[in-house]
Structure formats: structure tokens, C-alpha cells
Amino acid sequence: MLTDPLFLLVAIPAIVITGISKGGFGGGLGTLAVPLMALAIAPVQAAAIMLPILCVMDLFAIWHFRGHADWKQLRILLPAAIAGIALGAAGFHALSEAQIKLMIGTISLGFVGHQFMKRHNQTPSTTSTLRGSFWGTIAGFTSFGIHAGGPPISIYLLPLQLSRTVFAATTIVFFTTVNQIKLVPYIWLGQFNTDNLLTSLMLSPLAPLGIWLGRRLHTRISDRGFFLVCYGLLAVAGIKLIRDGWLELVYSP
């Protein structure tokens, strides 16, 4: 079990913030969890510790938002995400975490910038099997590596202008399914060991706390405020991922 003070200093807020984001805002800020924990431990270990905690969060979150998900979108997104997870597992050692961070961070900031530029023409997008399959695959791939599937899903779902409850519920069902599936390749690749699992168990009580806080905030913010928060979280995640990925590439031996 990891009890290093520096690790706990970054892990505790990372998990609570992830719970708040997952419980009320569609999970966008959950992208920061692994990078924050990676300040104290290896990113691969951080991802292994976070996955069981994410699964616990999913169970609490899906109960709060049951019955509100848009299954029309999920029928497009989930098969694509499974393909993305398979690609991530197959290429586990082919693409570095720094490259994944730079890729998804750049896409996230590009999307936020695009939405800002066309803010006076906010015509809702329509359901698209092609776009949904593309972003679902990217989400499955990036979620497998560093649990950073939130931005790609937001890129597809936010322009649809679903209600905030439907948006949150759809992302929660999506990631509940994705995280359960990810357990299989994580076990296959030897990501779980006694230390990681005990650390996950020690930190798991923070999961329902974060979900509860997120749910409280979800009911107290207007639709406009909700989506401003979502785009803000997407921008913060993108900046963080680009910064971390660039530094890792520049300073890696």
C-alpha cells in the first residue's frame, strides 16, 4: 500500500475532483487525475490505482442518473469505444503516454477554441454515426491509457446540446461500461498487483464523497452555467495534458 505523504497529497484531491466532475459535470476534469498522481508515482501505476476507484465512482454515479441516458448516442459510441480499448491494449507499448497527452490535449483545446469562435451561431449538431464512431474510438483508446476519455466524448456530445442531466447520464453510462471492460486488459497486462489494489481500496471511500459533491453542484447550476463549466473543464484538461506531454517529451532520456 502506498502511504507516501507526497502521493497522498496529490491523490486525495485528484480523486475528489474526479468524483465531483463525474457526479455532476460529465467527467471532463477526471482527465487530471492520472497526471496529478503522476507527480508522485509512475503514470502507469497511477492509472492502475485509479481504475478500481473509477469503477466504484461509476456505481454511485449511475444510480443518481439512472433512466436519463441517451441510448441513441450510446449505441453509436460504445461499440467504437470497445474498438478503441482493443487498440490501446494492442499498442500498449507502441505509443508513449506523452504522445497520447499531446494528442488529446491539442484536440481538446482546438475544440474549445472552435466553439468559442462560433459562439454566436450555436445551432445544435445532429446525431452522426460517423462522428460518434470516430470520437468513441478515440475515447476508448485514450481512456485505456490514462483515463482521458472525457474530452473526446465531450467533443461529440456537447454540440448536440443535450440537457445537462441527459449529457451527464450519457457520459456516466458510457464510462461505467468502458471502465468495466478495461479491467480485462489491465489484468491481462499485469497492471494490478497487491500494492496497487490495496492503495485503491484505501482511497476508495473518497469516491462516493466526490460523487455526492458533484451531484449537489449539478442541481445548483443553470444550463448555461453547466455547459460553461464543461467547456472550461475541457480547456483546463487540454492545457494540462499538453504541458505534461511536452515536458515529458523534452526531458525524457
pLDDT per position in the chain (253 positions), as tens? 677 888 898 899 889 888 888 877 766 666 778 877 877 887 788 889 999 999 998 888 888 888 889 999 999 999 999 999 999 888 877 777 788 788 878 887 887 887 677 665 566 778 899 999 999 999 999 889 888 888 888 889 988 988 888 988 899 899 999 999 999 999 998 889 999 999 999 999 999 998 888 888 777 777 677 667 777 877 887 888 888 889 888 887 6
pLDDT at 185: 93
Q: Which helix (H) or strand (E) holds 231?
A: helix 223-251
- Determine the 3-state secondary structure of 248 from DSSP: helix
Residue 129: how many other CB atoms lie within 10 Å: 11
Q: How far apart are CA 68 and CA 16, in angstroms?
A: 24
Number of helices (H) and strands (E) in the chain: give both, helices first: 11, 0
pLDDT at 26: 63
**What's the domain count of the chain?**
1
C-alpha cell at 96: 508513449
C-alpha cell at 65: 442518473
Q: How far apart are CA 196 and CA 1, in angstroms?
A: 7
- Only one residue has cell 517529451, namely 249
Instruction: Give me the domain span that covers residue 97.
Output: 5-251
Long-range contacts of 182-187 (CB under 8 A, 24+ apart): 182/51, 182/85, 182/143, 182/144, 183/51, 183/55, 185/85, 185/88, 185/89, 185/144, 186/48, 186/51
- Give 171-213 as a DSSP string: HHHHHHHHHHHHHHHHHHTT---HHHHHHHHHHTTHHHHHHHH
Q: Taking Cα atoms as reference points, which of 185, 179, 190, 175 lies closest to residue 89?
A: 185
Residue 91: how many other CB atoms lie within 10 Å: 12
C-alpha cell at 208: 462516493
Q: How far apart are CA 41 and CA 97, in angstroms?
A: 14
